[in-house]
Structure 1
């Protein structure tokens, strides 16, 4: 397996991955609208100097993805001015459980470090125990839990 930066030629499969993420998240989020949803501007992540979008290939087939985006802290009281936000973490079902998500996470964290970014964050649904376990295995720890009330 190899890891590389995504290109525009990869967009078709990456858009399929995006819908796979939406499908996986629907059971955790009753506020999502029906039908096709687009969370990400994948083309922007490919082009932006403040982002990297990577893919993992196995025998010339893209099997996983993830991105890191440098964001400015919106809190004056944080002890960091910028952080890397990770997202679009997707591994094809038949490749799950093989450590690919950790490979992606490590690659994205290293990319952030190469840009002198030491704070790395991501979001995960509180009920998504398998994702939480995978991120904890990669060194992440819970920080805040957003709660909601539908009135």
Structure 2
């Protein structure tokens, strides 16, 4: 594997992160018939970079951005045992770098930041038909929790 480093995202990364966002959309479009056509925006990337309750990181190989992810400190529902949790999003690895466990490096870095913030729980959303992502998250230690269902009417 190439020498991969993890660092905090910054505004100089914006152009590449916008490309990554469209990569996420392209990967998820076949998994979700409810997604609209054309270019979609999931994230407010400048806010992710600057928000105090978000740790937004990138994976870098030889000065090239090859992956991303963030952890947002979020309030839990009042009936959960942990008052706050870390919500993970925007996990993306460039196709040419997949299979090298870069997502694990990103997840491990986010988990370590969450521990520094004294969080006791991490959550994320993944499409139920995204078998490769589910396998990767389960290998990292995540377990399935709640299933979101919908119907066209």
Band the TM-score falls in, shorter-chain normalisation: over 0.9
- Which position in structure 1 is the counterpart of 2:90? 88
- Which position in structure 1 is the counterpart of 2:136? 134
- Which position in structure 2 is the counterpart of 1:32? 35
Among residues 64, 77, 80, which one is paired with 2:79 in the alignment? 77
Q: How does 1:44-83 map to 2 (within 5 A)?
A: 44-73=47-76, 75-83=77-85
Which TM-score applies when normalising by structure 2? 0.96
Q: Following the alignment from structure 1 to structure 2, what is the Cα–Cα distance between the partners of residues 117 and 18?
A: 27
Q: Following the alignment from structure 2 to structure 1, what is the Cα–Cα distance between the partners of residues 146 and 135?
A: 16
Q: Following the alignment from structure 1 to structure 2, what is the Cα–Cα distance between the partners of residues 20 and 45?
A: 17
Q: How does 1:6-25 map to 2 (within 5 A)?
A: 6-25=9-28
CA shift, 1:101, in A, is 0.4
What stretches of structure 2 of length at least 5 have no aligned partner?
Answer: none
Q: Secondary structure at the match of 1:46?
A: helix
Which TM-score applies when normalising by structure 1? 0.97
Report runs of 4+ in structure 1 exceeding 6 Å deviation. none
Deviations 1:66-100 (A, max 9, x none): 00001111x22110111110010000001000010
CA shift, 1:6, in A, is 0.4
CA shift, 1:36, in A, is 0.9
- Which position in structure 2 is the counterpart of 1:112? 114
What stretches of structure 1 of length at least 5 have no aligned partner?
Answer: none
Q: Report how many residues are paired.
A: 150
CA shift, 1:48, in A, is 1.1
Deviations 1:31-63 (A, max 9, x none): 111111111111111111100110011011000
1:144 maps to 2:152: no
